[in-house]
Structure formats: C-alpha cells, structure tokens
C-alpha cells in the first residue's frame, strides 16, 4: 500500500454547512477553529509555569547549584517519561469513547495537579505531581487525532500543521506571561496562573467543540462489532516504524538545542546581562520559523508526496546542524537556527500526516498515541544526552545532532518509499483552504 493512500472515512459528511456571521461555513471548519482556540489556551497554560521549575525547586529549600540543576532535570524529564507509557493507553481509550472526554480529563487534571504543585512544600511532592501529570498525558496525541478527524482527508496534514502552530505559539506566549506573574506575585503565582488557564481551556472545550454525530455512531458500531487492532498490529503496519523513528529523530534534534543555546551564547563572550535576551531572541526566531515551516509544508504536500518533502526537510536540517559546528558568533548561530527552523517545523507535521494515512480511521487515536510516545522518548532523552555531550564539547553535541538527522533522512528515504511514492489520489491541485 502506498503511504499516501491510507484508509479514509467516506461516511463522514465534509460538505455540511452552517451559517456563521451571515455566511455559510463548513461545519468541519467551525469545529477545527474551536479546537484550535482551545488548544492555544491549553498550551499557554501548559507552558506558563514549566520554565520556572528551577525557581520553585530553589524556593522549596534546595540551594546548592548542582542539586538545583539535578532536581530540575529530573522534574522536567519525569512527565515525558511517564507519558511514554500513558499515551498509547489513552489513545486506545480515545478510539473507544472519543477524544473530547479525554481532552477534558487532561486539562482539568492538569489544573488540579498544577494547583497542588503551587502548594507543594517539598521537592519529593513536586516529583510525584510531575509524574502524575505525565501519566495524565496524551493531550497532544488526542488533539492531533481530533484535528485529523475534523478535517476532510485531503486536509489532514493542514489540520495537523495548525495544531502544531497553536502549540508553538502557545509555548511562546506562556513563559512570557508566566515570568511577569512570577516576578510580580511570586513563583507560586505562576503555577496558580497555569492552573487557571487550564480550567479556561477545559470550559472552552465544553462549550465550543462538539464531535459530529457520524463520529459518535462510528465509535458505537466499533464497540458493538468492530475489529480490534493491537499495538503489535499497529507496529507491523507498513511504514509505521519508519515514521516512529523520524518522530524520535525530529523531536530529539529540536529539544536537544534548547539547553545548548544559552551555553553557546555564553561561550561567545557575550556580556552577562545580554545572554538571556540573546537566547530568547534565538529561541523565538526558531519557533516562528518552525510555525511557518509546518504551515508551508502542509500546503506543499497538496502537490508533492509527503515522504519526499520529509526527506528534503531532514536532509537540510542535518546540513544546518553540521554548519552549527562552525559558527563562532551568536548572530551566526541565530541565523542558522532560524534557517533550520524553516525546515524542522515541518518534520513532525509530515510524520503525523503520514501516520494518519497508513492507519485506519477507527484506530487513529491508538496510532497517534504510539507515535506521540516515540516523540516523547526523544523529548525526555535529548536534554540529558545533549548535556553529557556538551560537558565534553558544545560542537560535539551539534555534530551528533547532524549525524542523527542524517540517519533519519536515510530511514525516511528507504523506509517510506520516497523515490517510489506517487501523489495522494484525494489531494487535488487546487482545493479550498481551511
């Protein structure tokens, strides 16, 4: 089976319209817009307090710098590690009961746990709460599933790109607002603010997003007589494991840069008072470039097969990471980071889009849960390994990223059949945009 010729959902009515502000709008467009609004608020809330965990650790009485760094790394990594196990399970449950109830569970559960984090009196309490947050995870996987099912088949990758854009923009806005709140009202206030935003996102989900009757009927039929797809069946699906590897590589390479950027800026001899601001500019520039990349790729795949675009994106990112080894100033590094961002933002979008094309619609949430676990492994492991390599040499850490991305390019080229792949039969050359 060609990777861009996956099973579709012909029984869903993508042409249903509803009046909005005096003009007809497709129902799937309204649903997707409502979902994106919910996701943006949720991701702002999720990132509102996360960057300030080291400050809360210090506030809880850990003062020795090495101990603060150790505890901060452990606390940041606990959530993704537990989410690796939880995401496939929540994805399978979403296939049975629907994604909307699980998103509500996640955001309200996050609100409660973050509120408890604001009241924590010991780092061990904080560690348990972070572990539980990861176990309540699966938010991204379920959100991607709902977005992919909300749009017509030829708009699946576009919908996934919009979800990623909401996530990236939310993660840019959240730390800035959280930092202002922490500076004015204390570090615990940032955690209370994060909890409040999660409640707002949950209420928005209750009011704005409604799954279609066709999706509800589809799940009811699956519960009564549908076939069950086990995890091993998902992994055996042609093309699925290469997609999983690409997601790991893309997430690992992206996340590993986060702790390396401030270290590199400081190593260039920048004035101590400018390191944070220069680092922030580089991170923001890379994030904006990634948002643009994801959306451009989602439009490009209407004309070019997913796998071919993915191979080009991985190859350019590998070359860009290799060039980082030879950068000597913060501005050289920043320009290269933006250039890499113009391609690396498309990697996850294209990989999830391919994942949606090879797995039956009935089991898409389960598949996305497994794919998200692969991404979470990269997210959890990359900061630790990049830190070890950076202790030896920053340039060695950049070089290792380049090598890993080269491996991902080879996997995508051979495993996803880029040289053989034709165009998706449902992707017209000039369809109406969302």
Confidence band, pLDDT 50/70/90 cuts, at residue 138:
low
pLDDT tens per residue, range 265-288: 878 876 666 676 777 778 778 888
pLDDT at 340: 93
d(CA 140, CA 169): 15
Residue with tokens 């500019």: 281
34 close to 209: Cβ distance less than 8 angstroms: yes
Position 407 pLDDT exceeds 90: yes
C-alpha angle 373-212-431 in degrees, rounded to nearest 5: 80
pLDDT tens per residue, range 203-227: 887 877 766 554 554 555 555 555 5
pLDDT tens per residue, range 2-23: 444 344 444 444 444 555 555 5
94 close to 142: Cβ distance less than 8 angstroms: yes
pLDDT at 406: 95
Residues 6+ apart with CB under 8 A from 247: 347, 348, 351, 352, 371, 374, 375, 378
pLDDT tens per residue, range 372-391: 778 878 877 877 787 778 77
* Six-digit token string for 33: 């817009």
Residue with tokens 């995870």: 137
pLDDT tens per residue, range 37-49: 878 887 777 776 6
pTM of the full predicted structure? 0.72
* Six-digit token string for 195: 């909890």
Which domains are seen in the chain, by residue range? 16-221 (1.20.1250.20), 234-434 (1.20.1250.20)
d(CA 1, CA 5): 7
């Amino acid at each position: 089976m060609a990777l861009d010729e996956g099973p579709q959902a012909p029984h869903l009515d993508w042409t249903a319209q509803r009046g909005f502000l005096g003009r007809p709008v497709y129902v799937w467009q309204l649903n997707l817009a409502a979902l994106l609004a919910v996701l943006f608020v949720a991701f702002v809330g999720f990132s509102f307090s996360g960057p300030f965990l080291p400050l809360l650790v210090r506030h809880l009485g850990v003062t020795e710098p090495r101990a603060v760094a150790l505890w901060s790394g452990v606390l940041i990594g606990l959530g993704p590690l537990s989410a690796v196990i939880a995401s496939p399970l929540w994805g399978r449950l979403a296939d049975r009961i629907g994604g909307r109830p699980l998103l509500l569970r996640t955001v309200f559960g996050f609100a409660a746990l973050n509120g408890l984090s604001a009241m924590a009196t010991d780092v061990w309490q904080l560690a348990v709460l972070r572990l539980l947050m990861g176990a309540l995870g699966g938010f991204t996987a379920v959100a991607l599933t709902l977005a992919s099912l909300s749009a017509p088949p030829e708009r699946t990758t576009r919908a996934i790109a919009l979800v990623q854009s909401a996530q990236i923009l939310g993660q840019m806005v959240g730390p800035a607002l959280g930092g202002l709140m922490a500076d004015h009202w204390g570090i615990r206030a940032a955690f209370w603010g994060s909890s409040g935003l999660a409640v707002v996102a949950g209420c928005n989900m209750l009011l704005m997003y409604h799954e279609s009757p066709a999706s509800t009927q589809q799940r009811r039929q699956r519960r009564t007589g549908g076939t069950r797809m086990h995890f091993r069946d998902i992994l055996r699906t042609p093309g699925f494991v290469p997609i999983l590897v690409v997601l790991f590589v893309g997430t690992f390479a992206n996340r590993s840069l986060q702790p390396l950027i401030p270290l590199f800026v400081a190593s260039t001899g920048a004035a101590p008072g400018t390191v944070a601001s220069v680092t922030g500019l580089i991170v923001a520039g890379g994030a904006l470039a990634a948002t643009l990349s994801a959306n451009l790729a989602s439009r490009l795949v209407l004309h070019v097969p997913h796998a071919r675009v993915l191979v080009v994106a991985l190859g350019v990112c590998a070359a860009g990471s290799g060039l980082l080894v030879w950068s000597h100033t913060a501005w050289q590094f920043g320009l290269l980071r933006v250039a890499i961002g113009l391609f690396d933002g498309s990697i996850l979008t294209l990989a999830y889009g391919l994942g949606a094309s090879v797995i039956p619609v009935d089991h898409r949430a389960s598949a996305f849960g497994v794919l998200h676990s692969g991404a979470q492994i990269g997210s959890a492991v990359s900061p630790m390994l990049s830190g070890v390599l950076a202790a030896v040499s920053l340039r060695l850490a950049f070089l290792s990223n380049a090598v890993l991305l080269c491996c991902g390019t080879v996997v995508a080229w051979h495993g996803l059949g880029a040289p053989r792949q034709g165009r998706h039969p449902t992707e017209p050359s000039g369809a109406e945009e969302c």
